[in-house]
Copies of this chain bind each other. A is one copy, B any other.
């Protein structure tokens, strides 16, 4: 994409650091009346509020978290925001502001950063979040994006990871494994392209899973839905590293055990068919795949009637006493101890 010889290339040095920030952020709208001052001073200013403030931050590194040979820059900008908003929603909050810092090598022209910021802006517009600050600098190699998201929630609404109790139901939003499989398809096409640059990949059969990888959506709707249903989860986390790793965080911090039922794990038909094609186990993909940015939470069993049958939510198991361990009940009714197989960037 960056290799298109016909596109304009403006060097970043021409604009300078302040010119660059102004240029990239000038079309952003502010949505929150709470944002008293956005980009342009030593610090942004947010109005006082009776709610608590939620703060989360994530770093995406080229060659570690993303590969620009198949990740368009606009999608990357969008995804970098989603990854952070997802953490705010996982606290049962409303995301309000973000800061975005980027380090880029000289190989990126201004037009590449405009693409990146177009994705960030689309995310801000779609999720009604204000870009309030950031930093833009050069790097000696590649691109890196650091996003911090701020959100709000009433104190009594905030949901932590440590409140799950035995008999609570374990619930997941959406379906799992798609983002990981989308990555597998993209990696395969990259290898094919290396061998034959003329090949035109037919990706129609993988639209859903590729979109799950390239343009994930944070589940802003789930805290809203739960409020509507008058359900406050007892614990909640977002699924960035895979179901297995996330349920272990909840169990460890809540000092409980759990049973997850393999047959209950929600899978999209495209995930099932692509798993068959790749000859990998779909349960393994759902447990360890990561990057789905769905929400995993626990609710009191007394709230079952409120969530039952909701198309966005699936009950996949229940919380047990701590000494019963963290277990997967297979389709063959075997109990297996779960291990965290989440993504670890230092194992590469």
Q: Which residues of A contact B (CB under 8 A)?
A: 11-13, 15-17, 20, 36-37, 40-59, 61-65, 86-88, 90-91, 93, 97, 99, 101-103, 106, 132-135, 137-142, 144, 146, 148-151, 155, 158, 160-162, 236-238, 253, 344-348
Contacts and interface: CB of A to CB of B under 8 A. Distances in A.
Contact of A59 (B53, B64, B137): B137
Contact of A103 (B41, B53, B59, B91): B59
B144 A144 contact: yes
Contacts of A158: 45
Contacts of A103: 59, 61, 64, 144
Q: Quick one: which of A44, A51, A162 has the most chain B CB within 10 A?
A: A44
Given A43-B90, A57-B148, A17 B160 contact: no
Contact of A53 (B46, B86, B93): B46
B144 A139 contact: yes
Contact of A137 (B37, B65, B90): B65
Contact of A133 (B55, B86, B102): B55
Contacts of A59: 101-103, 135, 137, 146
Contacts of A12: 346
A144 B142 CA distance: 12
B151 A43 contact: yes
Given A139-B64, A144-B144, A43 B55 contact: yes
A345 B17 contact: yes
Nearest to A235: B41
19 contacts: A15-B346, A16-B347, A17-B345, A40-B253, A41-B253, A42-B56, A43-B88, A45-B52, A45-B55, A46-B54, A48-B49, A55-B133, A55-B148, A57-B99, A57-B133, A59-B102, A64-B140, A140-B142, A144-B144
A58 B161 contact: no
B101 A58 contact: yes
A200 B149 CA distance: 47
B44 A140 contact: no
A155 B42 contact: no
Given A13-B346, A57-B99, A57-B133, 12 more contacts: A13-B347, A42-B161, A43-B88, A44-B56, A45-B52, A45-B91, A45-B158, A47-B155, A57-B148, A61-B103, A64-B137, A138-B348
Contact of A346 (B41, B87, B138, B141): B138
Nearest to A50: B48
A87 B20 contact: no
Contacts of A37: 160
A182 to B, nearest CB: 21
A207 to B, nearest CB: 29
Contacts of A63: 140
Contacts of A133: 55-57
